[in-house]
Amino acid sequence: MAGTTPDISLEACSYSRVLEIVSSKWTALVLYALEGGTIRYGEIQRRIEGISQKMLTQTLKQLERDGLVRRKVVPSVPPIVEYSLTPLGETLIPCMLMLKSWASAHYGAVKAAREEYDRGAY
């Protein structure tokens, strides 16, 4: 194997880089929360069980940086901050829903395989 060139380059694989973005459990849940349209920060936090304020803030900032989420400050007293999916973020939802469907259909089998493996069956 020494001296061979890999067939797959992590640097060149856009699929791998996109998976880094969406593979966080919080990212997926935030995207699902925003699927229905524009909502405020507090509503996102109420919709996602167990997410801390710090983690929600970090996740939203990363999604905004990646062009998937739009943050809008509505001038008022106190200021209102709304979040929505960008057109780019909207294109990701069908893919996420397909993955969610696959998980619903197959997670039982994955869980059973893990349990069998952990019992030393392999």
Rounded to whole angstroms, how far apart are CA atoms 122 and 118? 8
Domains observed in the chain: 14-118 (1.10.10.10)
Alpha-carbon distance 103 to 106, whole Å? 5
| Mean pLDDT of the chain, nearest integer | 91
pLDDT score at 104: 95
Triad 62, 82, 23: Cα angle to 5°: 30
pLDDT, tens digit, 9 for 90 and up, residues 20-40: 888 888 999 999 999 999 999
Q: In terms of C-beta density within 10 A (0-12 exposed, 13-18 middle, 19 or more buried), how is residue 59 classed?
A: buried
Average the pLDDT over 97-101 and give the result: 91
Full-model pTM:
0.81
Strand segments, DSSP code E, in 12-100 are 39-40, 69-74, 80-85
The pLDDT value recorded for residue 21 is 84
